[in-house]
Amino acid sequence: MENSLPPSVSFADGVFVITLGPEYSHLHENMLDNLALLPMLADSIVPPRMVIDMAPVQFIGSALIGHLVAISQRLSAREEGALGLCNLNKFCKTALSVSNLDSMMQTFDSPEAAVATLGSN
């Protein structure tokens, strides 16, 4: 397991924004323990709207894709639940498209754009 800090969590206009640090540049299976917070948040946050800022992420593996599916399903099962991803690089966008995840969750250019769309206003 990689030794890294948990992602930071902030709240803006009814959306929980998860910001990944530079240690999350390559999200392989061994990093999922560091992201165990995300499914727990998906089950408990009110309102159930989450955005993950993936700015430092250069690579996502299949384990993370499965993790994102589970988080999206947990949020979607709740009233007004939604998951958005922002600041995706070209590789990550392609990985989401190939796995058809881009139809399951919205992608945004920035956390501000995600909050503006998913937020309470």
Question: 23-63, pLDDT tens digit by residue?
Answer: 999 888 878 888 888 999 999 999 999 999 999 999 998 88
Q: Global pTM?
A: 0.92
CA gap 56, 121 in Å, rounded: 28
Residue 121: is its pLDDT beyond 60? no
Convert the pLDDT of each residue in 57-105 to its tens digit: 999 988 888 899 999 999 999 999 999 999 999 999 998 898 888 888 8
* Contact between residue 18 and residue 45 where contact means Cβ atoms under 8 Å apart: no
CATH topology of domain 8-118: Transcription Regulator spoIIAA (3.30.750)
Written as six digits, the tokens of 43 are: 């089950």
Residue 120: is its pLDDT beyond 80? no
Token pair 């399951």 is found at: 104
CA gap 95, 71 in Å, rounded: 17
What's the pLDDT at 3? 61
Q: Report the mean per-residue pLDDT for the chain.
A: 90
For the chain, the domains span: 8-118
Sign of the torsion formed by the C-alpha atoms of 116, 14, 10 and 34: negative
What's the pLDDT at 1? 43
